[in-house]
Structure 1
Amino acid sequence: MESTEVVRRYWSSVWSRDWNAVGQVLAEDVEVFWPVTREVIRGRDNMVAVNSEHPNGWSIDVLNVYDTGDVVVSEVQVPQEDVGIFRVVSIWTVADGVITSGREYWTLYGGEEGRDWRRKYVSIGDLPS
């Protein structure tokens, strides 16, 4: 299976809440780092638990998946009821058909104001995904 297909299957399995299938695309010793909160998730069981125990009311839209060989970059949107829309950029390492490591940048879409000094150079809006 190609690396991009592994990542697409991961997101599809998370969205459908098929936790067994999520585990099948993760290496047993997978390590995922969330720099925004400085959390490190070590091991397949912990990664499945982090996803499966997250409160419901969310969906996943895969916006882009980029293949650079053994490294795959994905951009997804995760709307969550009563919270807002998260955007996630993930940098995945894939080997032998499973995700072996990842770095995920989760942010609340539009959740931060731009800097005053940039206002004369920018506009606020949405770009198509």
Structure 2
Amino acid sequence: MAETRNDSRGDIRSDARAGARTVIERYWSTAQDRDWSAFGALLAPDVVYEIPQTRERVRGREAYVRFNAEYPGDWRVTVERIVAEERRGVSWTSFTAEGGTETGLSFFTLGDDGLIESVVDFWPEPYEPPAGREHLVERY
């Protein structure tokens, strides 16, 4: 397995031949930069995003990009570590918003084309989702 510490910014253009580590690095750098076009280019059209703590699921590239773009408040993410192999990877992040910092684990699966097919986020504490994103998610 390949491993990297701290976010590497590199070229943010989508490269279908890039390994999972590179794609995950680009995912976080484009999110941090609020470059939603480049962020969306990393996602499969039918990407599925899940947050088990809130029992939320977002389906599809457009909805997932909006979900992130509309996240409330000013937030920052720091990538602590990425561990990846060919089409799978996990990232450990520190997410800072509204004066607090949370640790998150994100599990990624990529398709044969190198695009992200699924992301599952785990946060240390259960919580209720912020209001205002009901139009983008389904609860399960």
**Contact kept in structure 1, 2:19 and 2:85, CA below 8 Å:** no
Equivalents in 1 of 2:62, 2:103: separation in Å?
A: 24
- Where in structure 2 are there 5+ consecutive unaligned residues? 1-17, 128-140
- RMSD between aligned alpha carbons? 1.5
Percent identity of the aligned residues? 35
SS at match of 2:75: coil
TM-score scaled by structure 1?
Answer: 0.78
Bigger relative contact order, structure 1 or 2, given CA contacts below 8 A and separation 6+?
Answer: 2
* Aligned residue number for residue 125 of structure 1: none
Give the helix-richer structure, 1 or 2. 1
Give 3-state SS (helix, strand or coil) of 2:53's partner. coil
Counterpart residue number, 2:21 = 4
Describe how 1:1-129 pairs up with structure 2 within 5 A.
1-82=18-99, 84-95=100-111, 96-107=113-124
Structure 1: which 5+ residue stretches go unaligned? 112-129
SS state of the match for residue 60, structure 1? strand
Q: Which of structure 1's runs of 4+ aligned residues deviate more than 4 A?
A: none
Q: Which has the larger radius of gyration?
A: 1
Structure 1 Cα separation of the partners of residues 91 and 35 of structure 2:
20
CA contact 2:21–2:85 (8 Å) conserved in 1: no
Task: Determine the C-alpha separation between the residues in 1 that align with 2:117 and 2:73.
Answer: 26
TM-score normalised by the chain length of structure 2: 0.72
Report the residue type matching 2:104 in the other structure: V
SS in 2 for 1:56: coil
Q: Which amino acid aligns with 1:98?
A: L
AA matched with 1:76: T
